[in-house]
Amino acid sequence: MSYTKRFDGRKFDELRQMSAKVGVVSKARGSAMFTIGKTIAIAAVHGPRELYPSFLQDPEKGVLRCNYNMLAFSGGGERVRPGPSRRSKEISMITQKALLPVIDLKAFPGRVVDIFIELVQTDAGTRCAGISAASLALADAGIPMKDMVSAVAVGRIADKVVLDVNKEEEDYPDGMADIPIAIANRTGEITLLQADGEFTLDELKQAIELAKKGCAKIKEVQIAALKEKYMNGGGEE
């Protein structure tokens, strides 16, 4: 079996169309909207602010809290029940872990930075879009970071390793492997790695290479969004 042509006509190493904008939630300290294909994520950062109950406070360093949530109408099928689910709690946790390595928690000891990620529309890759949006919102909020995190889901479909799978590919009839990856771009370190489905070690290596290329392009979009806000609209491509 061979996957010769992608359902939406993209090349195997091609991302979906992206857009990014920062400062979309004026009541938050920092915020961003990140769109990849039909997946739309909004992230907003509140804080550093007081952390209660106070036993959670750490006098040495701050706390980063992430909350991933799908709006009730954002799923492909039935209405998504509001409130946390096992899935959304796990994604919130891995999002926090994907961002922690680049954040200087010592810059806000005893306090908390809250990131809220809301999915407005979903077409696979939602945790990755959420992470890319969150990283951008943290930068917009001026939280000290040493790198920009970008994330993308790579898939193994039949004999091909493909970049940025959409829902139609995720539902590939013969099954597939879905491998979301987040990368701190400057150092190339991997801060999120999950996978489900069958794949070989060699395919995983290909997937990571592909994710690196993809994340470099995502980073360009993230940086352009920041420049657009902070450099008098003089952002570059």
SS3 readout for 32-76: EEEEECCEEEEEEEEEEEECCCHHHCCCCCCEEEEEEEECCCCCC
Residue closer to other proteins, measured from CB, 128 or 181: 128
Q: Which listed residue (55, 59, 73, 174) binds other proteins by CB under 8 A?
A: 73
Does residue 132 contact residue 34 with C-beta atoms inside 8 Å?
yes
Answer positive or negative: Cα dihedral of 47, 91, 165, 70. Answer: negative
Residue closer to other proteins, measured from CB, 126 or 150: 126
Q: Which listed residue (72, 158, 216, 231) binds other proteins by CB under 8 A?
A: 72
| Binding region for other proteins (CB under 8 A) out of 39-47, 104-112, 152-160, 221-229 | 39-47
- Looking at the DSSP assignment, which residues form a beta bridge with residue 94? none
Give the Cα separation of 46 and 23 in Å (integer): 12
- Is the peptide bond between 59 and the residue preceding it cis, with omega within 30 degrees of 0? no
| Binding region for other proteins (CB under 8 A) out of 75-83, 169-177, 187-195, 204-212 | 75-83
Residue closer to other proteins, measured from CB, 25 or 162: 25
Residue 81 CB, nearest approach to other proteins (Å): 10
Site membership for other proteins, residue 109 (CB under 8 A):
no
Site membership for other proteins, residue 78 (CB under 8 A):
yes
Site membership for other proteins, residue 86 (CB under 8 A):
no
Does residue 114 contact residue 65 with C-beta atoms inside 8 Å?
yes
With b meaning 16 or more CB within 10 Å and e meaning fewer, what string describes 77-89? eeebeeeeeeebe
Residue closer to other proteins, measured from CB, 42 or 98: 42
- Is the peptide bond between 53 and the residue preceding it cis, with omega within 30 degrees of 0? yes
**Residue whose tokens read 């907003």:** 44
Residue closer to other proteins, measured from CB, 31 or 191: 31
Q: Which listed residue (49, 89, 106, 146) binds other proteins by CB under 8 A?
A: 49
Site residues for other proteins per CB under 8 A: 24-28, 31, 38, 40, 42, 44, 46, 49, 67, 69, 71-79, 82-83, 114, 116, 118, 120-123
